[in-house]
């Protein structure tokens, strides 16, 4: 069996070309450009790298980014105030609060302070609830990116049994709701699930989102499955043991180059959409 490689890097590149044209139209008609505001609290090097990558993605399509850096000593009240200022700034069309924030900050309260129309990372409870109920909202960037990647390769979802391993509020849970919304039968598992290998063996589509390197073993996955690995760990491995699978599954996401590029690309795409709506170009 020759597995289909779900190349997120290639899909993101094609989307960037289209987004560049849309940004050019906005500029030509309004004299303005969509702006993504990023908030980085503290000096975590990995978080700083992710924010830089998102800024670079904005610039590649002609968008602007507004980088806000706050000290590690920032309080919840101070961060809420910063978010309020961005909510009220008509020139800002999307707000990203980089996760994680220092431990003294109530991250959930700060996520939920982001205005729904600027929640382009899909992290608010309101946005999640609307998405889960089939109402309009920006999808959480990583699961929405996965859905776009599956669609780009015409992966059948309706009627399939999807197993999501992970239950985080910004990945596992919205991933399950999005798959359910496309008529998959969904099982949500996690690190404490009993008989986990037996459940994974039933999966037509397996999504690894548990946050542990190669936690999901290749031998647990049946032939012909679609394998989506949303993890990334030192050494270039994900949450799934991929190497033994590439000759016997139907499709798989590489690590790196699969889900990661689609996450950033989805954030940028949703900011462009927000800009089009705000500036009357949708």
C-alpha 182/C-alpha 135 separation (Å) is 14
pLDDT at position 2 over 90: no
pLDDT tens-place string over residues 179-220: 999 999 999 999 899 999 999 999 999 999 999 999 999 999
Supply the pLDDT for residue 279.
85
C-alpha 276/C-alpha 259 separation (Å) is 26
pLDDT at position 149 over 60: yes
For residue 37, give Cα distances in angstroms to 104, 118, 150, 188: 22, 10, 28, 33
Closest CA to 216 of 161, 163, 148, 147: 163
Angle ∠(229,230,233) on CA atoms, nearest 5: 95
Catalytic annotation present for 173? no
Q: What's the whole-number average pLDDT of the chain? A: 96
Domain regions of the chain by residue span? 31-122, 141-259
pLDDT tens-place string over residues 99-108: 999 999 999 9
The CATH code that applies to domain 31-122 is 3.40.50.10860
User: Phi then psi for 190, rounded to 5 degrees?
Assistant: -160, -175
Supply the pLDDT for residue 282.
57
- Whole-structure pTM value: 0.95
Catalytic pick among 7, 98, 113, 144: 98
Average pLDDT, integer, range 133-144: 96
Supply the pLDDT for residue 187.
98
Catalytic annotation present for 229? no
Share of the chain above pLDDT 90, in %: 95
pLDDT tens-place string over residues 217-256: 999 999 999 999 999 988 889 999 999 999 999 999 999 9
Supply the pLDDT for residue 220.
98
Supply the pLDDT for residue 281.
60
Residue 132: how many other CB atoms lie within 10 Å: 16
User: Phi then psi for 161, rounded to 5 degrees?
Assistant: -95, 115
Supply the pLDDT for residue 280.
74
Say whether 141-259 and 31-122 share the same fold: yes
- Return the structure tokens found at 175: 């991933």
Catalytic pick among 121, 204, 229, 239: 121
Supply the pLDDT for residue 23.
97
Catalytic annotation present for 182? no
pLDDT at position 97 over 80: yes
Catalytic pick among 54, 118, 160, 173: 54
Looking at domain 141-259, its CATH class is: alpha beta
């Amino acid at each position: 069996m020759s597995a289909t490689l779900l190349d997120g890097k290639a899909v993101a590149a094609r989307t960037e070309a289209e987004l560049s044209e849309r940004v050019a139209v906005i500029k030509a008609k309004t004299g303005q450009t969509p702006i993504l505001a990023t908030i980085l609290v503290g000096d975590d090097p990995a978080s700083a790298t992710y924010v830089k990558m998102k800024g670079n993605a904005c610039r590649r399509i002609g968008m602007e980014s507004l980088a806000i850096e706050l000290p590690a000593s920032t309080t919840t009240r101070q961060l809420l105030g910063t978010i309020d200022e961005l909510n009220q700034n008509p020139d800002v069309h999307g707000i990203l609060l980089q996760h994680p924030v220092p431990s003294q900050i109530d991250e959930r309260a700060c996520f939920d302070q982001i205005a729904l129309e600027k929640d382009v990372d899909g992290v608010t409870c309101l946005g999640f609830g609307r998405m889960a109920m089939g109402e309009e909202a920006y999808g959480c960037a990583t699961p929405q990116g996965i859905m776009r990647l599956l669609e780009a390769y015409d992966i059948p979802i309706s009627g399939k049994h999807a197993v999501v391993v992970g239950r985080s509020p910004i990945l596992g849970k919205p991933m399950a709701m999005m798959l359910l919304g496309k008529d998959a039968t969904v099982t949500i598992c996690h690190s404490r699930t009993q008989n986990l290998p037996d459940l994974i063996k039933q999966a037509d589509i397996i999504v690894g989102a548990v946050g542990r390197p190669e936690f999901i073993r290749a031998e647990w996955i049946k032939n012909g499955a679609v394998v989506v690995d949303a993890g990334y760990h030192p050494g270039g491995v994900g949450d799934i043991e991929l190497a033994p699978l590439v000759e016997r599954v139907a499709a798989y996401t590489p690590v790196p180059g699969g889900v990661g590029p689609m996450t950033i690309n989805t954030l940028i795409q949703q900011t462009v959409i927000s800009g089009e709506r705000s500036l009357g170009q949708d």
